[in-house]
Amino acid sequence: MKVAVTGSSGLIGSHLVPALRADGHDVLRLVRRTPRTADEHRWDPQHHRIDPALLADVDAVVNLAGVGIGDRRWTAAYKQAVLSSRVDATRTVSEALAAATAADPTRPRALLSGSAVGWYGDTGDREADEGAPAGDDFLARVCTEWEAATAPAADAGVRVTLLRTGLVLGPGGLLGRLAPLFRFGLGGRLGSGRQYWPWISLTDEVDAIRFLLATPVAGPVNLTAPTPVTNAEFARTLAHVVNRPAVLPVPGVALRLVVGEFAPVGILAGQRAVPGRLRDAGFTWTHPDLDAALRAALGRG
């Protein structure tokens, strides 16, 4: 299979690309800078520009492009970048796949497009499978527009799978920022700790994408571990893994002062998301247990 990947330099993409190659796939990487290797090809999602020939013989696109949601304080300009980077990239590859399909309708094609469990908004204690309604906060609205940008591909007959991903536990991301605090004994629950944090190990995230490339599942799929945990339970487990106490809770008001608007939406809210469609399709998790996933992410066996 020939697979194009956007966002290949990120946490997920940088591990997905070698895994796909190990599976025997021919992988090309779409990059916004000047290409440095033969497998890299330039595109300009901001202006919806991509060479139509690039996707002419591509069987699938894994679309992971987008600026980091929690990488910077949310200003109006940064929130716009969070939204536009996702919508522009998705619409660009979606329209290019639609054009390729129109030119060669005999080739089955798939678009596995990034999204997030933030689509559901703050669900409190209510479980959210793929049939749950959308939320109405900023991240939910981003996810709604992000997913809607796949419409040209879906309308052209491309199989579109929406990867509603939870907190990915790997060497970086939010865990990369939390782990040093916990190692110094400065960790604890965030806010009330009652908000659910749906998580997935980096290994399972990559394996789930590989699985969905080969499995004819369309529509939204929650990429999370089977059992979401509360933030308080997450904090206790992380503290146990690094052999430190978790006795220093961070009040919600302090989080709002430090990270601004991101705090109530991205940290103090949560989704009790469950991976119903992934489970029903027969996927097997390597790390269904949080303790094991954290140990793998932190190199603690």
pLDDT of 246-278, one tens digit each? 777 877 776 676 567 776 677 778 999 999 999
Task: Give phi and psi for 31, each to the nearest 5.
Answer: -125, 155
CATH number reported for the structural domain that contains residue 40 in this entry:
3.40.50.720
**What span, in angstroms and rounded, lies between the C-alpha atoms of 69 and 82?**
6
- Convert the pLDDT of each residue in 56-76 to its tens digit: 999 999 999 999 887 778 889
Per-position pLDDT tens, the chain of length 301: 999 999 999 999 999 999 999 999 999 999 999 999 999 999 999 999 999 899 999 999 999 999 988 777 888 999 999 999 999 999 999 999 999 999 999 999 999 999 999 999 999 999 999 999 999 999 999 999 999 999 999 999 999 999 999 999 998 888 888 888 888 888 888 888 999 999 999 999 999 999 999 999 999 999 999 999 999 999 999 999 999 887 778 777 766 765 677 766 777 789 999 999 999 999 999 999 999 999 999 988 6
Q: What is the pTM of this model?
A: 0.95
Phi, psi of 176 (to 5 degrees): -60, -25
89 inside domain: yes
Indicate whether 189 belongs to any domain. Answer: no
For residue 32, give its domain range.
2-170+199-225+274-285
Separation of first and last alpha carbons in the chain: 34
Question: What is the rounded CA–CA span in Å between residue 293 and residue 288?
Answer: 8
What is the reported pLDDT for 163?
98
**d(Cα 170, Cα 183) in Å, to the nearest integer?**
16
Name residue, tokens 């949310």: 74
Structure-block tokens of residue 114: 């990034």
CA angle at residue 195 from 190 to 199, to 5 degrees? 95
Q: How many domains does the chain divide into?
A: 1
Q: Is residue 73 part of a domain?
A: yes
Task: With H, G, I as helix, E, B as strand and everything else as coil, classify residue 127.
Answer: strand
* Residue 80 belongs to some domain of the structure: yes
